[in-house]
Amino acid sequence: MTNEQYSIVGTCPPRVDAVDKVTGRAVYGPDVSLPGLLHGQVLRSPHAHARIRAIDTSRAQALPGVRAVVTAGDLPGAEERAAGSGEGDPQARTMRDYTLASDKVLFVGHLIAAVAASSPHVAEQALALIAVDYEVLPAVMDVLEAMQDAAPLLHETMKTWSLAGESQAPSNVASHVRYVKGDVVQGFAEADVIVEREFRSVTVHQGYLEPHASTALWGLDGRLTVYTTTQGAFGVRDHLATLLHLPLSTIRVVPTEVGGAFGGKNASHLDAIAALLSRKAGRPVKIVMTRAEVFLGTEPTPGTVIRVKMGATRAGRLTAAQAELYYEAGAYPGSMMDAAANAIFGAYDVPHGQVDGYDVVVNRPKTGAYRAPGVTPACFACEQVVDELAERLGFDPLEFRLLNCAREGTRQVGGAVHTSIGAAEVLEATRAHEHYRAPLEGAQRGRGVAFGYWGNWGAQSSSTISVNADGTVTLVVGSVDITGTRTSLAMQVAETLGLTVEQVKPRMGDTDSVGFTETSAGSRTTVATGIAVVKAAQDVLAQMCARAASMWRVPVDTVSYCEGVFSTSQDPGQRLPFAELAAQLPYTGGAVTGVGNVDVQEWGVSFGAHIVDVEVDPETGRVTILRYTAVQDVGRAIHPVQVEGQMQGGTVQGIGWALYEGYAYDGEGHMLNPTLLDYKLPTALDVPPIETVIVEVPYPKHPYGARGVGEMPIVPPPAALANAIYRATGARVCQLPMTPARILQSMGVI
């Protein structure tokens, strides 16, 4: 991997936020404090499904130290609802009911009321004094049960949306999507071998260590300021404006440092409640979730049932692929089923394909994004079937994937056509890796591979660059830094401006300081905000060239900038390094600020292949990972060490999903393991060092060729581990997590 053409891109400077983070100075959501701060706590439903008959907050309000209590009645729009006069936009109603339940609670953890008090302990005492009269209703927790006609309905008026229109009867199925390419009946008729299996997975949590926290100050001037740990400050502003019926410009959202997010901090959970409490109390209010609240009251992943059927010829060519995806959306629609339906066969050239996806509400927390949302269980399903096909046809697993992988021009079952991609390059690098050929001896040991695809994202980003008189520049971006993007963006600016990284001072802007920028999700920030900052840097250079032209009294089109020096073709004697021209700005017209606003509609997609060696203890079913290698096309690694960090971290999350993690429930919808003792995240002892191979197939529409990086690595691990466990034991494990008990069951031992 060489990037001789660049001086900054491809190097590994220390991350700009590192010193603040190792000294404890970085300010995260729970660290925010303001003068006169009150502490908020929220009351959550103990029932998975119940009607609220009445809420009595009078005793809580009377407790000394309590300054404000809010319920659904404090949300704008609640009056219309009570009067029964038109609900307006059903999405607004959903947003209100999700923020603070009014007539029904739909999951254990559903918010009902909140208290602001002089200390968290007083607020906690006050919560115990709020009396809620519930009529408990039957709950439905499982996706297939929720689809039955007799299942309890979560939303009495919700109908199924599909391309055929809305269903006649209300249903827990919020939507049904279908993607078709060719004719699967014909495709399966052409197959020599067909493999069909059903797979299941349960809800897992993103597991960020920093709990959600929000601090709001709603002043008497009508201005609302919110300090919050979020992936996207502008998304929080939009949410608050809609929910609280406020003009955007009266709201300022200030993003804090984010202590892990992985998709789980796109949604706004506490911000509106902190704001309502602040307005009532006349003081700033901070709410910090407990760990149990993080499990119960945020947006983990959907549980899934996925059926996959694939066929291939003796020559090793796929003829057809079909999948049904049933995703548990939680209490409100919006599981990541659609992303999964698009991605499940995205790594392959499938002549005939059909995917049916169902988004189904159940009495669990609403689900949300987790790193390549929805796709990890889909890959777990598809890649085990592909592995089985390869085995039954007598092909090497990587050889079979190479024969069938997507290439430029391949039309996906979801409709999109792959453009410049590195799928084959990733598979070839994996096949060539020493790990793939290394001997693996011993009983109960096996090597598995899996291949995955994720589509990434582009969208809107905004940035400004101000030139300082000392030759440095200040970069303000609308993107929240959740992975090290201040550093990777500063590097792209430094490369474009011919500066050192240290000369670029990146800052995360709040919503008053920079233009609208989409949330940091979809592996978009280094790529899309990267395009924005390069555009801003080019704007700076154009303005600086004009400044030099005016100083030298030459036409601007004769001025150019090369290797850190401005010069003019009209006079070889005139040369100004960047810093010297910057020092002249105060005397030649004032400050120079470059602007880069983009809406990126084309971006590079990702492919990754993983190799893993395991040993399975035949008596206990325990899996030991002996060696793990992750290979990925990243387009161009802007900062290879940070890319490696993303690949290692995402892979270990995928290992957790594969082997350890999962929500467990009792029969009434109560989560049994909402602690970090009982919900097991991988520790340093559970995982080996993850070896990484960075493949670079530059994406032509990014100025430095970058593709999204962060999400892809979580996709293949459960599939790779399942394939390795199969090779070690002869048993296919079709359910996540692959706990020792499940492995022993699959082996027929218990």
- Residues in contact with another protein by CB under 8 A are 12, 14-15, 17-28, 30-31, 33, 64-65, 121, 206-211, 257-262, 288, 290-291, 482-484, 641-642, 645, 648-653, 675-677, 681, 683-685, 687, 689-690
Question: Smaller CB distance to another protein: residue 406 or 489?
Answer: 489
Whose Cβ is closer to another protein: residue 318's or residue 693's?
Answer: 693
Closest separation in Å from C-beta 520 to another protein: 12
3-class DSSP assignment, residue 351: coil
Query: Do residues 506 and 32 lie in contact, with contact meaning Cβ atoms separated by under 8 Å?
Result: no
Query: Which is nearer to another protein, 414 or 656 (by Cβ)?
Result: 656
Q: Which is nearer to another protein, 290 or 593 (CB)?
A: 290
CB of 295 to another protein, least distance (A): 10
- The nearest distance, CB 20 to another protein, in angstroms, is 8
Strand ranges inside 118-220, DSSP E:
131-136, 159-162, 165-170, 173-181, 193-201, 213-218
Q: Which is nearer to another protein, 23 or 157 (CB)?
A: 23
CA–centroid distance for 698 within its chain: 23
At residue 390, what are phi and psi to the nearest 5 degrees? -60, -45
Q: Smallest Cα–Cα separation from 432: which of 424, 421, 440?
A: 424
Return the number of the residue (225 or 653) whose C-beta is nearest another protein. 653
| Min CB(12)–another protein separation in Å | 7
State in angstroms the smallest separation of the CB of 658 from another protein: 14
Identity of the residue, 448 or 682, whose beta carbon is nearer to another protein in the bound complex: 682
Our CB check for another protein shows the closer of 207 and 303 to be 207
According to DSSP, the residues that pair with 607 across neighbouring strands are 453
- In this structure, what token pair is assigned to residue 719? 């599939």
377 neighbors 339 (Cβ within 8 angstroms): no
Given phi > 0 = left and psi -120 to 50 = alpha, else beta, which region is 338? alpha
Q: Is the dihedral of CA 300, 305, 311, 316 positive or negative?
A: positive
Provide, rounded to whole angstroms, the least separation between the CB of residue 299 and another protein. 16
221 Cβ partners below 8 Å, 6+ apart? none
Q: Determine the Cα–Cα distance for residues 440 and 445; give it in Å rounded to an integer.
A: 7
What whole-number distance in Å separates Cα of residue 277 and Cα of residue 75?
Answer: 11
DSSP 86: -
Which residue number, 76 or 260, has a Cβ lying nearer to another protein? Answer: 260
Nearer to another protein by Cβ, of 210 and 633: the residue is 210
Closest to another protein by CB, 399 vs 678, is 678
To 5 degrees, how large is the angle CA 511–CA 516–CA 518? 105
Nearer to another protein, 211 or 698 (CB): 211
- Nearest-angstrom CA–CA distance, 708 and 71: 41
Q: Please name the residues in contact with 416: beta carbons below 8 A apart, sequence gap of 6 or more.
A: 342, 455
Q: Where are the beta strands (DSSP E) in 118-172?
A: 131-136, 159-162, 165-170
Strands 173-181, 352-361: pairing kind: antiparallel
CB of 224 to another protein, least distance (A): 24
Residues 183, 186, 191: CA angle, nearest 5 degrees? 125
State in angstroms the smallest separation of the CB of 526 from another protein.
Answer: 14
CB of 37 to another protein, least distance (A): 10
Runs of H (alpha helix) within 575-679:
578-584, 640-659
**Bridge partners, 318 (sequence order):** 312
- To the nearest whole angstrom, how small is the minimum distance from the Cβ of residue 669 to another protein? 23
Q: Which amino acid type is present at position 335?
A: S
Please enumerate in sequence order all residues whose Cβ is within 8 A of that of 745, keeping only pairs 6 or more positions apart, or say none.
none
Alpha-carbon span 342 to 457, nearest angstrom:
13
Tokens coding 358: 């169902």
User: Between residues 254 and 261, which has the closer beta carbon with respect to another protein?
Assistant: 261
Distance CA 430, CA 625 (A): 18
**At closest approach, how far in Å is the CB of 124 from another protein?**
11
Q: Residue 663: is it exposed, middle or buried by C-beta count within 10 angstroms (0-12/13-18/19+)?
A: buried
Rounded to 5 degrees, φ, ψ at 663 are -75, 135
Judge whether 456 and 527 are in contact, CB under 8 Å: yes
CB nearer another protein, residue 374 or residue 656 = 656
Q: Hey, which residues does 322 pair with through a beta bridge? A: 309, 354
- Whole-angstrom Cα distance, residue 215 to residue 287? 6
Residue with Cβ nearer another protein (311 or 650): 650
Compute CA 572 distance to the chain's CA centroid, rounded to the nearest angstrom. 52
Shortest distance, CB of residue 586 to another protein, whole angstroms? 35
CB of 22 to another protein, least distance (A): 4
